[in-house]
Amino acid sequence: MTLAPIDHALAEAHRRFTEANPASRRQFEANAEFMPGGNTRSVLFYAPFPLTIARGEGAALWDADGHRYADFIAEYTAGVYGHSAPEIREAVIEAMQGGVNLTGHNLLEGRLARTIRERFPQVERLRFTNSGTEANLMALTAALHFTGRRRIVVFSGGYHGGVLGFGDQPLPTTVPFDFLVLPYNDAETARARIAEQASQIAAVLVEPMQGAAGCIPGQADFLRALREAATAAGALLVFDEVMTSRLGPRGLANQLGIRADLTTLGKYIGGGMSFGAFGGRADVMAQFDPRTGALAHSGTFNNNVMTMAAGQAGLTQLFTPEAAGALAERGEALRARLNALGAKEGVALQFTGVGSLMNAHFLQGEVRRVADLAAVDGRLRQLLFFHLLNAGIYTSPRGFVVLSLPLGDADIERYVAAIGGFIAEYRALLPALG
């Protein structure tokens, strides 16, 4: 059977990749003896096998075969500081010298909590977790108990952690809460459905920009409608800012002027260590006060000294509000250049997103919700991924692009040039602008 042109191109890309990466292939096959598919983190797998990353420094990565890459995925937004930032490394070493597992309140946790509250003023009180997934689970638990209700409004395409993912319905790995799944960026439908089920709804959980769905920005009128509808229903509005808190000096929701009842955080705020946090209104969070509250919240490593120290160093020495704003502006400029390049070349390739996060999509027209991406040929994203690897650029097979602080101007120019090279090489396979 003769392969279609795009399948042939992808098969050739796989062949080149396999020949160039024998050490990564051997490592993958060895790992598969102990882990299903040699994998313990699904997002990192791609066919024919994933690269094994051996080390990182600044904005550079090296794989097991010695190839160097400019890192344009930055640990799926957690790596805003790059790799092995001296300020963070020194803070962690200093903390470890005082003991790693202290079995009690420590000198560092309150300091980080204060810094986070100062940075995100909607978070009046907060608690730490080990991941954004945990943070979202605990925020929902708080909302259920506070309201005495059971239903949670979420949105198609939403991703709130490994056990909180949604298509038109909850994904098979999603915890069995009572969910009402609505279309993203549809203010009219959200208002109507929340109003008709107001007495049952405990919480509205939403990303101000859907990250895993393809960097789809929430429209201001939609997010304001959720604020109004939740208030009218007596429900809590929960903003998942695990990703989006890095998209402005004080988070994306604050930049939009919309205040949630609860906010969840994670990723970069722990300085590259395992981290999550949830917080917001003092009266809601008082449920977790062990002196008076009804809810317990445990976690051996919630206040571990390495994360507490790394997070403080990162937020105060590196990713300051000023640095966050500058990185967001840099991302806006890059996305504008990339979209102008696609338009100039007459191909339907656009980059959606906000600030330092963006995603490549092979289609034209506005992207308002995940359903708008149904027509995208996933093979083109794969082809782009392998083309970028060949150019020494490490991104994601789904087209996700993440900027970090140490990425230099030369890296940015290299990425733009690589996109231009991709268009030139595969123009015949790409959808044309209508």
Q: Which residues are catalytic?
A: 159, 240, 267
Eight-class DSSP state of 317: I
Among 403, 98, 430, 434, smallest CA distance to 243 is for 403
The H or E element containing residue 13 is helix 5-20
Two tokens, residue 163: 């056990």
Element containing residue 155 per DSSP (H, E): strand 151-155
| Distance of alpha carbon 301 from alpha carbon 269, whole angstroms | 15
CA 362 to chain centre: 21
Tokens read off for 97: 């010298």
Question: Burial code of 134-153, b = ≥16 C-beta within 10 A, e = fewer?
Answer: bbbbbbbbbbbbbbebebbb
Q: Are 363 and 216 in contact (CB under 8 A)?
A: no
Furthest CA-CA distance within the chain? 71
CA distance 69 to 32: 25
Nearest of 283, 220, 294, 303 to residue 257 by alpha carbon: 220
Say how far apart CA 368 and CA 370 lie, in whole Å: 7
Q: Is the dihedral of CA 288, 290, 293, 295 positive or negative?
A: positive
Give CA–CA dist 248/327, Å, rounded.
9
β-pair type (201-206, 236-240): parallel
Phi, psi of 387 (to 5 degrees): -60, -45
The span from the CA of 339 to the CA of 344, in Å, is: 9
